[in-house]
Amino acid sequence: MSFKDKVAIVTGASSGIGAAVAIAFSAEGASVAIVGRNQTKLAATASRCANSLVIQADVTNDDDARRIVNETIETFGKIDILINNAGGLSFGSIFDDKIMTAYDSTMALNLRAVFRMTSLAVPYLIKAKGNIVNVSSVAARTTQFALESIAYSVSKAGLDHFGACLAADLAEHGVRVNTISPGPVVTDIKANCGDTGSWDDLKPFTALNNVSQPEEIADLILFIASDKAKSITGSNYITDNGFLIKRYL
Ligand code: NDP
């Protein structure tokens, strides 16, 4: 899976899955635009990439989104791959007064920012006959998640359908669009949303009694973004240690 001469933008590359993806792309020869808000963490990812451009930016800010695309073009001259990975959640249930705040912030990050980033990158992706990978979640497909994370589940369900529609829209332009849907992956996401539970506690909720490491998710993303997957578009890959097929009866 050589990505020599390829240019990838990875949003949310300052930690977790996005950092692993950026490092993996770089190891395969790609030039990578590393996007996130935390400068220290971005620098840590960059230090493990041979040819990277750090872009400190908030993807929910429209001007920042434009800057991400512009700076990538100014530095690398093209965009072959867009990984819409930045995401997270804030809690709020239908029974409490945090629901609309949770809805607004979660949708802004997990869905609206993806629309914005994608619309800005599409002209360049068409030119390069490139591809997009969106990072969704098994949360889009089940009601098993905590009731306070309803906005997250709905945002990812929207992202799934966005990916399918976009794949249809862009196929005639030679641009592939795919989605991956991880189950539990050991990253900072829990801590970032104030969840103090341990990742190990989630193992029994998977058929394989396991949780993933970010590098495993990066492997799948790289495959989908590579020429080896040239016939794959509009697909959505579950990688969840059997979370969704776990039997409780
Ligand atoms: P992390 O919290 O480790 O990483 C999230 C990344 O998103 C960070 O790099 C963060 O960077 C970035 N980010 C968050 N908000 C913004 C913003 N406004 N602008 C720019 N960057 C932002 O979590 P994960 O690696 O786990 O999450 C990556 C994706 O994987 C998310 O879409 C998540 O929903 C999805 N996912 C994760 C699962 C898991 O169990 N870990 C399971 C299923 C899906 P910074 O703080 O520097 O801005």
Site of tokens 């190990």: 200
Given a contact cutoff of 8 angstroms between Cβ atoms, the answer to whether 241 and 212 are in contact is yes
Q: Is 185 helix (H, G, I), strand (E, B) or coil?
A: strand
Model confidence pTM above 0.95: yes
Task: Tell which residue, 162, 85, 64, 70, has the closest CA to residue 123.
Answer: 70
Three-state SS at 16? helix
Check: CB of residue 8 under 8 Å from CB of residue 80.
yes
What is the interface pTM, i.e. ipTM, of the complex? 0.99
Catalytic residue among 103, 124, 152, 248: 152
State the maximum Cα–Cα separation within the chain, in Å, rounded to a whole number: 56
Q: Note the pLDDT of residue 193.
A: 85
Q: Is the CB of 134 under 6 A from ligand 1?
A: no
Where exactly are the structural domains of the chain? 7-239
- Centre of ligand 1 to C-alpha 172, Å, is 31
CA distance 148 to 231: 38
What superfamily would CATH give domain 7-239? NAD(P)-binding Rossmann-like Domain (3.40.50.720)
Catalytic (active site) residue 124: no
Candidate from 117-131, 191-205, 208-222 with smallest mean pLDDT? 191-205
Distance 249 CA to ligand 1 centre (A): 33
